Amino acid sequence: MESARMHVMNVGHSGKIAPVQTDNPSVVVVDDHADDWTCLGAMLEASGVSINVTSEMPEHLLLGRSEALLCLILDAKPGRDGLDFQRRLKAAKVFVPIIFVTEFGNVPMSVTAMKNGAIDFLDRPCRDEELLESIGIGLARDHAWNEESRRLSSLMDRYDTLTRRERQVMEMVAAGRLNKQIAGDLGVSEITVKVHRGQVMRKMEARSLPELARMADKVAQIVQHPSMHIVTAFDALSYRASTTSELSPEHAQFETWSIVRPSHGRGRPDLGKRLLAS
């Protein structure tokens, strides 16, 4: 995997935003009590995961985010509407894994949070092991979403190289039309159709007709809805799930890279050193 280009922004009481260059994944905690996170922070940083504690919602994320792995921990309490911020991120089509921790939670709040894609909703005080496991799931989900987003962007980049005629041929081939039928529909020779078809397969990097058909279906969704590549990536990862076992099969590898597991005997977390390995 590529090294992350920019670490999450630090947001302090001044409201100034300062990007920090790093290759490490990061956790941003929105809470008024920074001291409560000292122990967890030490465990995370020992494994190469940086942590920033701020009392302000990271509003800058609504404008977009970097590819650096990121997980948010929001303290949901009166006067700080983490659920509203979660909804605003989703409306802005910005994917960020979120863990809620609160002393004021109730069933409706937790249901709303999970329906909107929260990784977890924990009552305070919560154990470090619980938080570490949820953070591991969140970073794994973020890694997988980044990969899916890049894959869809690459697909559209390849589609943009097709001529108008090649796009017509791609659509018809994907629909199961024979070369002879396509030639008749377009008023060209069968040989011309074969040439266009070969160009489409080469430019789209499709290894088979079934693969080209899947590409055409995905492209059709994105062309009809320009922001669909974000929504598709979002949905493809079963973001509403709270366990890595519900990731799509092609992303199962991320569980072994990023999941945080308590080590046996000591009750201490084994975060591993491969969160950014590739």
pLDDT tens by residue, 151-201 = 988 999 999 999 999 999 999 999 999 999 999 999 999 999 999 999 999
Token pair in block for residue 114: 């999970």
Domain-embedded: residue 160: yes
Q: Are residues 152 and 131 in contact, defined by beta-carbon separation less than 8 angstroms?
A: no
Residue 251 has pLDDT above 50, yes or no: no
Domain-embedded: residue 2: no
Residues 138 and 164 placed together within one structural domain of the fold: no
Residues 253 and 166 placed together within one structural domain of the fold: no
pLDDT at position 256: 28
Residue 32 has pLDDT above 70, yes or no: yes
Domain-embedded: residue 63: yes
Residues 175 and 126 placed together within one structural domain of the fold: no
* Domain boundaries, position 21: 10-147+249-270
Residues 129 and 83 placed together within one structural domain of the fold: yes
Residue 138 has pLDDT above 60, yes or no: yes
pLDDT at position 23: 53
pLDDT tens, residue by residue, 39-50: 888 999 888 899
Q: Kindly provide the b/e burial profile for residues 227-253, where b requires at least 16 CB atoms within 10 angstroms of the residue's own CB.
A: ebbbebbbebbbbeebebeebeeebee
Domain-embedded: residue 134: yes
Domain-embedded: residue 57: yes
Token pair in block for residue 45: 């940083």
More confident residue, 75 or 50: 50
Average pLDDT over residues 251-260: 32
Residues 107 and 49 placed together within one structural domain of the fold: yes
pLDDT at position 223: 79
Residue type, 120: D
Residue 226: which CATH number?
1.10.10.10
Q: Are residues 68 and 87 in contact, defined by beta-carbon separation less than 8 angstroms?
A: no
Q: How confident is the model at residue 30 (pLDDT cuts 50, 70, 90)?
A: very high
In the chain, the percentage of residues whose pLDDT exceeds 70 is 72
Q: What is the mean pLDDT of the chain?
A: 75
Residue 27 has pLDDT above 60, yes or no: yes
Residues 135 and 25 placed together within one structural domain of the fold: yes
Average pLDDT over residues 19-31: 71
Residues 32 and 108 placed together within one structural domain of the fold: yes
The pTM of the full predicted model, rounded to 2 decimals, is 0.62
Average pLDDT over residues 83-88: 90
Most confident of 144-148, 210-214, 274-278: 210-214
- Nearest-angstrom CA–CA distance, 104 and 118: 17
pLDDT at position 107: 86
Residues 55 and 183 placed together within one structural domain of the fold: no
Task: Please state the domain count of the chain.
Answer: 2
In the chain, the percentage of residues whose pLDDT exceeds 90 is 37
* Listed residue (69, 72, 79, 74) closest to 48, CA to CA: 69
Residues 64 and 141 placed together within one structural domain of the fold: yes
Residues 15 and 143 placed together within one structural domain of the fold: yes
3-state SS class at 198: helix
More confident residue, 273 or 205: 205
> How many Cβ atoms from other residues are within 10 Å of residue 55's Cβ?
15
Residues 193 and 171 placed together within one structural domain of the fold: yes
Residues 98 and 169 placed together within one structural domain of the fold: no
